[in-house]
Chain A
Amino acid sequence: MSSEELFAIRNQFYSSQYSEVISNHDIDNVTTNEIKQYILRSYLALGQYSKVIELANNEPELAGLVYYSKYLSGDQSIADEFVSYAKSNKPSLLTQILAAIVLVKQYQRYDDAIELLTSDINMENHDELNLEVFSVIVQIYLLQDALPKAKNFLKKFSHLNINDSVVYNYSDALVSLVQGGSTATQHAFYFFEEISHSSRSLKNLTFMMVVHLLLNHVPESSEIMEQIDELIANDDSLKADEHYLTYLINKAKVLIINNQGSEALQLINNEILSTADQSHPYVVDYNDKIALFDGVVDKYAAQISN
């Protein structure tokens, strides 16, 4: 029973079905700590930080989660303390993962994050959490624009019998999508088509939408966009979803490509720029480009005469 439950909850969590995780499992009656962690992380993914702090506060094993929740709820000063806690105590893999994420988010210290993660992971272990460590490392490489490194790293654990691992498959698909090209994109497409069929989470559907875009299938991606919008309209909690912002950004792209530029602009101005974290890479980039364009306008303005 326990292994079945664990299997189910992992699948749900990693395919971002957070509400299902929460509603299908009773936090007061969990059999293992691992299940509890997935439930708490689902709360985090839905933005309910204080709830997690409240639920985990008194359990020393979950100290990492508490640190991380506090950090997410806006207390950036705690970042240092958390990182040094993780480095010195090495309490659990999960803590290390979360600390690495903070290193990336707060300081863009990619190498430190990777070092923290690689210091004592087991390359032969295909435990799901261990695979998550791999997956985070792969993503950090991708964030650094280091696709070859990510690919190599992924290869390192392809010998493990992990074709069924959702986490591994996501990483594999992510690398494929960044790489692009006919085979790789198609490969990722099949994965997402399959997984979005069984779990219609915001993340999976967004991926489907994006993959269609990457394949230049514009009508298909707008179709999925409509489905997602309908889903959100029926379930307000999705707006708190970890992946909501990513969806909105990509939605803007679909609109632009679909010749609905003005709607895209409205979306960007009213929903993305105003609400998102100002350090989000999209927002940073967008503002950069606006400034750049202002420079262009100024540069040639002198030549306008009438």
Chain B
Amino acid sequence: MKMLTKFESKSSSRAKGVAFHPTRPWVLVSLHSSTIQLWDYRMGTLIDRFEEHDGPVRSVNFHPTQPLFVSGGDDYTIKVWSTITRKCIFTLSGHLDYVRTVSFHNELPWILSTSDDQTIRIWNWQNRQEIACLTGHNHYVMSAEFHPTQDLIVSSSLDQTVRVWDISGLRKKHSAPSGAQAATRSFEDQLSRQNMPQQDIFGNTDAVVKFVLEGHDRGVNWASFHPTLPLIVSGGDDRVVKLWRMSETKAWEVDTCRGHTNNVLAVLFHPTQDLIISVSEDKTIRTWDLNKRTSIKQYTRENDRFWLIAAHPQINLFAAAHDSGVMVFKLERERPPSTLFQNQLFFVNNERQVQTYNFDTKQDSLPVLSLKKIGKPWTMLRSLSYNPSEHSIIVTTGPEDSPMYALIQLPKDASGAIEPLDIRQDAADFAIFIARNRFVTYSKETGMLNVKDLNNSVTKSIKLEDPIKDLLYAGPGHVLLLKQNSIVQFDVQQKKVVAEFQVSSVKYVTWSHDGEYLALLSKHTITIVNKRLELITSMHETIRIKSAAWDETGVLLYSTLNHIKYTLLNGDNGIIKTLPNTVYVVKVQGKNVFCLTRSGKVETIKIDPTEYRFKKALVNKNFNEVLRIIKNSTLVGQNIIAYLQKKGYPEIALQFVEDPETRFELALESGDLQAALAEAQKLKLPAAWKALGEEALKQGNTQIVELVYQDQKQLEKLSFFYLINGDFERLRKMQTIAEHRTDISSLIQNSVYLNSTEKRAAVFSQAGNLPLAYALAHSNGLGEFAQQILEAAGIDVDEIELPDDISEPIEVLKPTRKLGNWPVKESAPSFFEKAMLGQLEDLQLEDAADPFDDDDNEANVSKGLGEAEDFFDDDGAEDDMGWDDEGLEVSDVEEDVEITEASLTETGTWVKNAPSNAAVHVAAGQFDSAAQLLHRQVGIVNFEPLRARFMEVYQANKVYLAGNDGLPPVLSYIRADPEEDDASRLKPYIPGYDTLEASLQEAFRLFRSNKLEDAIEVFRQVIYTVSVLAVPDEDAEAKCVEALHLCREYILGLSIELARRSLPADAIQRNLELAAYFTKAKLKPAHRMNALQVAMTQSFKHKNYATASYFAGEFLKIVSTGSRAEQAQKIKAKADTIARDAIETNFDPYADFTICASTLTPIYKGSASVKESLVGAEYQASEKGKVCKITGISLIGVPASSLRLVA
């Protein structure tokens, strides 16, 4: 058993009392110096101090549910405090000497106190009165506590007794009466109750002594109930711990635990385990086995006597008060040892059994193996290492208490916790597998790293210079040595250090999935390094870090005491979820975080990975992913927007924001003027317009600049803008506007820009500035106007003296060309914009072009298409099969002879197991018999197109294994089921089935982009693939047949369309017929639309209105909205008004017929026809014996069984 210290407080004075808060990470510590401290033991910070007691405070206690705590001290008082206001609410006085202990009742509003005045008192903290005083002890009462569930109190006293008190009378008296009684209770009743004395004159009728336990030879310092069993434990100045049992009627001493060398001051039962924990002035904490009453372990402090021990009500934590403070600790690690292998977790549950958990099925196994006999009792197992090759494990008990490891074979199946048969064990602190047949152990005592084989014998020993704190696996033959101030990657084989990294106190290490990175966890730091131990990033956490696991994409998720968080490789991190309980993350898979809990179970926590995936995509500049997340997820708060802005992606942030003001700012920041403009128009704020104008000017976006000036009525700027832009027409308008507004200065400015001297002169003259007006008119050669001015002024030309150097009239310079938008920033759209544009186009294309291409639709459509035919085909096929099988068997007999001859070879086995599947014959290299089968089953005669497929299938299941240098490589076979162990049931791996879907999609894509020949070629390849294919079951076979039929229809349809396109222009009738026949091919609706559209427009163009109307109607059945539908509606409307055909064609929309793939003529129902067997294409009887136009390899109308695909 190991004590793990979680927190230590230092105080100048003795800590006398300590109490845990029931839910928050708080401890109250009362000191001998009169101070009460409130600590956060998780963060290690002092939250508050309470200084109202006078003299030592001996005891404190939190209320289990209310925000209260109580304290009692040497000032004889009990104080009740609020944890909210952090103030003392009231003081209870009554004790006549030091108060030793105080505590709350679990449910009733009671406080229990003990005192050196030899009494135990019970107080009601609601009405703040003493309700009972228990007398009987005849010395100091050192402790007392309520029973957690029964109406009992146990107390201890220096009078050497432990007493158990029955307080059921008190409860009856003080419990609130039930409803009915309360209603009828009279006022007098209440009055009399209130005035009732708390105890009667003769003593304690409310609380009576039930048992007096005598046995201690000196004063008893502490007594405590067992939480569930009828047991009491006590400790006293006689240095022993005593265990007592009680029944309804009596109580007796069970046993004594001896060992403490000084007064035992406090003792309690472990809340969940069969342990007793005691503290003593001998400076030790000791643990005892409750069942055997033997000492298990002792923990010594050098200089401090212990005064009190308290247990946390829920969590596995204890607090001990001692001479210089308190320590919070737990006994034993609560982390279940575990190890991952592929999709399985191996772990040790709380019953000390090995269990496995499957991440795919999300289920745990039965216990596999019991480890009860491994290690000493009360030692936890510390680590688990798994060897998949041998299906064995190594467990260790860790570096405390005679450390050891055990190598154990796991049973093949989990059938309950069986006892291990063959345990190979030895002493060592750490042990892990490093290879299939090797493991290493390390012993602190000797400092030796031993490499051992599975027989537990040492094959190699390495002396390590520095002691190590842990030993971890680091790839085959390598280990990580965790040292105090560094971690070292060590090659065990070559005995050399591969890499070393300085980092202090690493406790755990997690490798990323690709083995490129590892996360080093210490108490408060996560350091991520690459596999060469070079620093990538490092981060600090204030809360203790517990565990971590990488997700598939290389994001590290880690858990602290109360959160699941993530961090990216660049150090960006955040919180994913708050945890109610501490868990140990073992694996992250998509949205599931798998954790081990402290109760030794696997728990799945659902998380939303959107945020970190988004950030990761952004950091990696994977904008397609960013876009996908934006489109598909409901992100995101202020958090993400701020993040985006910080990272320099305002344009992405823009995608998330609704608020115009923020949008405006983001748009400006990302230089997206159009978006900014849209927001500015909504905002209507001058400041926004101004900012927009400035940015637009910077970017040289003249349109927006103009818009802003207009909107903001910045007429002067606008005029100048028009001037430099050479827009004289607008400038003239500006002049007119100025005139209307009688804005002289604006008018003059505009006239200057326009060089309209006449206008300006007129303005001057109107303004009465006649000399200037004259000078202007005169110098610009406006003689007449000048004359008018003279006349108006009433003076003569001669009277005017003009300067001599009047030069030629000035021409206003005109821009050589009109300014467009300045291409400054536009040339550099961000990556994201590019990605978005590209992606958006793609998306639109696909969405628009193929609304029916949804998976669902596809399945439905093709099913619909398949069903009717399949039924028919299958029936026929089955009959044939019956016949054919018998026929075949005859020939099989011959083949059997061959097979038995070569019965040892693998390929022979293949053929034997699938005698009628051509692909298997091909795989076995028996091309002859394969060809025979294909010929008989589907009438194939033209094999050349199948050459590539034959060679592919033949080659795809053979690999060559290199052996010794110089010798030829050895052949081995790839099988359909690599797990098959029965040599007589082997089948070859035949590729192709998985590719059908993708090939068909490729063909559809070619179809959509109008590459019809190419599409036909791909459809044919699908046919060839299926021809030489083996599938495991009928379902898959049905799917292949469906694919064949699909190919048939498309090749037929496309051939018709190609034929139509190659017609001479004057073959109108044939053109119309072929267009019509094209619509008879059973294409998917989205594709049939194309056929219908062709037929519709062709018919309409050539005035076959009745037929056009029919096609338009068919078209509208498929799609009823959108531009193409509108066109169809128009055509239909127009065609219906005429409703007759100009050209007679051989097409009756209402007749039942199919199209002959060779002649491209209709075969009406009931008329003679022949069929091809591979894809089931139909032909006119005349085509019998020819090679099928669709497949190009099979004969038309020859006897055939049918393709046998299941192998």
A residues whose Cβ falls under 8 Å from a Cβ of B? 8, 16, 41, 44-45, 68, 72, 97-98, 101, 104-105, 132, 135-136, 139-140, 142-143, 145, 163-164, 170-171, 174, 177-178, 180-183, 185-187, 190-191, 193-195, 197-198, 203, 206-207, 210, 213-216, 242-243, 246, 249-250, 252-253, 256-257, 259, 261, 264-265, 280-282, 289-290, 292-293, 295-297, 299-301, 303-306
Contacts and interface: CB of A to CB of B under 8 A. Distances in A.
A280 B967 CA distance: 10
B726 interface: no
Interface stretch (B782-790, B935-943, B1038-1046): B935-943
B220 to A, nearest CB: 63
Interface in B941-992: 941-944, 947-948, 950-952, 954-956, 958-975, 978-981, 983, 986, 989, 991
Contacts of B944: 297
A166 B180 CA distance: 89
A140 B967 contact: yes
A153 B971 CA distance: 19
A289 B925 contact: yes
A104 B435 contact: no
Contacts of A174: 961, 963, 970
B671 to A, nearest CB: 39
B958 A253 contact: yes
Contact of B941 (A140, A207, A303): A303
B563 to A, nearest CB: 35
A77 to B, nearest CB: 18
The residue among B940, B967, B975 with the most chain A CB atoms within 10 A of its own CB is B967
B979 A182 contact: yes
A135 B964 contact: yes
Contact of A300 (B477, B931, B954, B968): B931
B1187 interface: yes
Contacts of B1187: 304-306
Nearest to A203: B962
Given A136-B964, A182-B978, A250-B960, A292 B927 contact: yes
A170 B963 contact: yes
The 6 A-B pairs with the shortest beta carbon distances in the complex, nearest first, are: A194-B476, A181-B981, A139-B963, A101-B966, A303-B941, A182-B979
Contacts of A210: 959-961, 972
B888 to A, nearest CB: 19
A205 to B, nearest CB: 11
A306 B459 CA distance: 77
A239 B975 CA distance: 30
A265 B965 contact: no
Nearest to B1186: A306
B335 to A, nearest CB: 28
B994 to A, nearest CB: 8
Contact of A259 (B941, B955, B962, B991): B991
A143 B475 contact: no
Given A145-B904, A256-B956, A300 B942 contact: yes
Contact of A143 (B954, B968, B973): B968
A225 B109 CA distance: 75
The winner among B477, B955, B981 for most chain A CB atoms within 10 A is B955
B493 interface: yes
29 contacts: A41-B965, A72-B966, A97-B964, A101-B964, A104-B968, A145-B905, A174-B970, A177-B972, A180-B975, A182-B978, A185-B978, A187-B389, A193-B476, A197-B477, A198-B493, A210-B960, A213-B974, A246-B969, A250-B959, A256-B952, A289-B950, A290-B951, A295-B927, A297-B943, A297-B947, A300-B935, A304-B941, A304-B1187, A305-B1186
B437 interface: yes
B1185 interface: yes
Interface string B436-479: 11000000000000000100000100000000000000011100
A216 B974 CA distance: 8
A45 B965 contact: yes
Contacts of A290: 951
A106 to B, nearest CB: 11
Given A44-B965, A177-B961, A304-B1187, A182 B981 contact: yes
Nearest to A167: B964
A281 B968 contact: yes
A290 B995 CA distance: 25
B259 interface: no
B928 interface: yes
A293 B493 contact: no
Contacts of A97: 964
Contacts of A135: 963-964
Interface in B1050-1090: none
A223 B859 CA distance: 32
A256 B927 contact: no
A261 B967 contact: no
Contacts of B1186: 305-306
A16 B453 CA distance: 25
Nearest to A290: B951
Contacts of B974: 213-214, 216, 253, 257
A292 B943 CA distance: 12
A277 to B, nearest CB: 10
Nearest to B387: A190
A181 B980 contact: yes
A295 B964 CA distance: 36
Given A215-B978, A249-B969, 4 more contacts: A185-B978, A187-B389, A190-B436, A210-B961
Contacts of A41: 965
Contacts of B437: 163
A66 to B, nearest CB: 15
A35 B994 CA distance: 51
A264 B953 CA distance: 12
B476 A139 contact: no
B962 A246 contact: yes
Contacts of A136: 964, 967
A101 B965 CA distance: 9
A140 B969 CA distance: 10
Given A142-B963, A256-B952, A300-B935, A180 B972 contact: yes
A45 B965 CA distance: 7
B1195 interface: yes
B388 interface: yes
Contacts of B459: 164
Question: Which of B905, B940, B943 lies at the interface centre, i.e. has the most chain A CB atoms within 10 A of its CB?
Answer: B943
Nearest to B966: A101
A261 B219 CA distance: 92
Nearest to B1185: A305
B475 A197 contact: yes
A261 B927 contact: no
B998 interface: yes
Given A190-B389, A198-B476, A304-B942, A214 B959 contact: yes
Nearest to A135: B964
Contacts of A145: 904-905
A109 B702 CA distance: 89
A132 B475 CA distance: 28
B1187 to A, nearest CB: 6
Contacts of B388: 186, 190
Contacts of B986: 180
Nearest to A258: B991
B927 to A, nearest CB: 5
Interface in B888-944: 904-905, 925, 927-928, 931, 935, 940-944
B185 to A, nearest CB: 80
A163 B950 contact: no
Nearest to B949: A261
B971 A281 contact: yes
A178 B969 contact: no
Nearest to A197: B476
Contacts of A163: 437, 453
B967 A104 contact: yes
Nearest to B948: A261
Contacts of A203: 962
Given A289-B925, A297-B944, A105 B968 contact: yes
